[in-house]
Amino acid sequence: MNGSGRFAELSVPTHWQAVDVISDLHLQAAEPATAQAFFDWLAQPAGGRADALFILGDLFEVWIGDDVLDAPSETCPEAPFLRRCADALSRLAASIPIYFMAGNRDFLLGPEAARRCGMTLLDDPTVLDWSGRRCLLSHGDALCLADTDYQRFRREVRSDAWQADFLAHPLPVREATARSLRERSEARKREHGHDASLWADADDGETLRWLRQADAPTLIHGHTHRPACHALAEGRERWVLSDWDLDAAPPRGNVLRLDRHGRLQRLPLKPA
């Protein structure tokens, strides 16, 4: 949202036929099946490719600063894997535009990393305006109002002061802090149950308020790991993206494709 209180808007080129939307891959070297599925999907032939890719947050399990891409593996063991991800994205960006919206895990991904990945940064939320057809995009965490502890934490870590202080520390300190925050998050999951259906969901009232403000019938978001399409009042709807976990049993993951006519379709990941 910009300073005037209006949502950011992105106008789609009229010649585009379709775009792909993904979120919540939580990429990390410790989950190789998910990472390989991502690399394979990015490298698929151009014939099965949409005209653009929109990533709505939590592409990475954690992001501790753009300088991690230049860190030696001795300082940051995850750095070589993150460089491989950036290179793969950059190769795709030579063919189609990639747009990235921060999630609750990778909100520190900034302009330098976006440049290295070939991605354009998007505000959360952003209205996609496609020849008058409007669709609202968000990571989705700001809509989970019932999780008051998280909303308090979110306000803290999204502040300029917190981020400036965090990024001023050496990489090993930032890594330790991020590890501690993840451990706290996992502890909360154990307390409330690992079943995603037990976690706070997007608030219908706030969702409708956003959609009215955006003058859009449809919201697409991630974060909750509960892929579904929810019918809302006033003929509006909320589409939830799938997370990707190819290391799980059964594996999870799909891509949401939006076409120029406003139609939405879930596409399964194809084996390599």
252 and 242 in contact (C-beta within 8 Å)? yes
pLDDT number for residue 48: 82
Using pLDDT thresholds of 50, 70 and 90, give the confidence band for residue 47. confident
Which of 82-91, 170-179, 185-194, 263-272 shows the lowest mean pLDDT across its residues?
A: 185-194
Q: What DSSP string describes 89-157?
A: HHHHHTTS-EEEE--SSSTT--HHHHHHHTEEEE-SSEEEEETTEEEEEE-SGGG-TT-HHHHHHHHHH
pLDDT bucket at 188, cuts 50 / 70 / 90: low
Q: Check whether 209 has a pLDDT greater than 80.
A: yes
The answer on pLDDT for 194 being more than 70 is no
**Quick one: average pLDDT of 137-162?**
96
Write the single-letter amino acid at 188.
Answer: R
Does the pLDDT at position 4 exceed 80?
no
pLDDT for res 104:
95
C-alpha span between 101 and 126 (Å, rounded): 9
Stronger pLDDT, 248 or 138, i.e. the higher one: 138
Of 193 and 4, more confident: 193
The single-letter code of the amino acid at 235 is G
> What is the structure's pLDDT at 116?
98
224-248 confidence digits (pLDDT tens): 999 999 999 999 999 999 999 998 8
In one letter, which amino acid is 14? Answer: T
Which range scores top for mean pLDDT: 17-26, 40-49, 262-271? 17-26
